[in-house]
Structure 1
Amino acid sequence: MPRRSPNPSPEAEILDRQLGDAIRRFRTDLGLSQQALGTRLSLSGQQVQKYESGANRVSASALYRIARELDQPVTAFFPSPSGQDDLDDLLRTPEGRALSRGFSGIHDMEQRRALGVIAGGLARRPS
């Protein structure tokens, strides 16, 4: 398995941790243990733990396999370009990802607009 270079750049270390956090978030959303995900990937649970902690780098091919097992696009594991903070916040929660998947399944534009109005109204409503 790929290991960390002896002197990774600070940017690489940050990205490794963000990638590991995303793997953990998607894995736990599916209710999988590290061991269960490792078994699906023919890896040990310890290797999954090392990926999630950023101790070991995830190769491109390993990330592709992980993304397939966690039912996510590979791009979901990386930070979004600046200016997409609201979308990032939405996709960080299981409810937001479920909402996004459900919305994608609505093909009627009137229904999509209606859902937007409902969500906007709920957001302005005092709790």
Structure 2
Amino acid sequence: MANAIDLHVGKRLRRRRRLLGLTQQQLAESIGIRFQQIQKYECGANRVTASRLYELAVALNVPVNYFFEGLQQVAAPATPGAPANDRDLIAADVLSQKETLELIRAYYKLGERPRRRLLDLAKALQDESTDAA
């Protein structure tokens, strides 16, 4: 069984790889391993050693602590009576979706003015859906 921390690190690894538009094969080749190993890291089946985590961080152009960001919510036991932080869980899930990453890439390929207009449109649509509910 995968440990919650291993799962978290794997999700962060997958998110960053996808954000950069890399395949598992490309990432694996960049650090000298097979893509199956990347698959196992991403699903939490295999733990990532410290040296391999460093290699991955360099290949993905992130600090090593990137893989542990948000871990407090994952590893901390729930306090009875404390409200769950659903917003953080939903945000993490949304950011891991392929569609979200494609949207972010497309957004940043736009010029500044079209980006601003797209953001204004999204906000207006959000306001409309909130008013309708």
TM-score band w.r.t. shorter chain: 0.5 to 0.7
User: Which residue of 1 is the match for residue 45 of structure 2?
Assistant: 55
TM-score under structure 2 length normalisation: 0.55
One-letter amino acid of the structure 2 residue matched with residue 22 of structure 1:
R
How many residues end up aligned between the 2 structures?
Answer: 106
For residue 25 of structure 1, give the secondary structure of its aligned residue in structure 2.
helix
Partners of 1:65 and 1:28 lie apart in 2 by 17
Q: Does 1:33 align with 2:40?
A: no
One-letter amino acid of the structure 2 residue matched with residue 70 of structure 1:
L
One-letter amino acid of the structure 1 residue matched with residue 18 of structure 2:
T
One-letter amino acid of the structure 1 residue matched with residue 6 of structure 2:
D
Could you tell me which runs of 5 or more consecutive residues in structure 2 were left unpaired when the two chains were aligned: 74-84, 106-125
Higher helix residue share: 2
Partners of 2:13 and 2:21 lie apart in 1 by 12
Identity of aligned residues (%): 44
For residue 52 of structure 1, give the secondary structure of its aligned residue in structure 2.
helix
Could you tell me which runs of 5 or more consecutive residues in structure 1 were left unpaired when the two chains were aligned: 1-9, 99-122
One-letter amino acid of the structure 2 residue matched with residue 16 of structure 1:
D
Pick one of 12, 15, 18 that aligns with 2:5: 15
**Larger RCO of the pair (alpha carbons < 8 Å, separation 6+):** 2
Please state how far the C-alpha of 1:94 moved relative to its aligned partner.
Answer: 5.6
| C-alpha RMSD of the superposition | 3.8
One-letter amino acid of the structure 2 residue matched with residue 38 of structure 1:
A
Partners of 1:41 and 1:20 lie apart in 2 by 16
TM-score under structure 1 length normalisation: 0.57
Partners of 1:79 and 1:72 lie apart in 2 by 11
Partners of 2:42 and 2:33 lie apart in 1 by 13
Partners of 2:22 and 2:47 lie apart in 1 by 21
Please state how far the C-alpha of 1:79 moved relative to its aligned partner.
Answer: 3.6
One-letter amino acid of the structure 2 residue matched with residue 35 of structure 1:
Q
Runs of at least 4 residues of structure 1 off by over 6 A? Answer: none
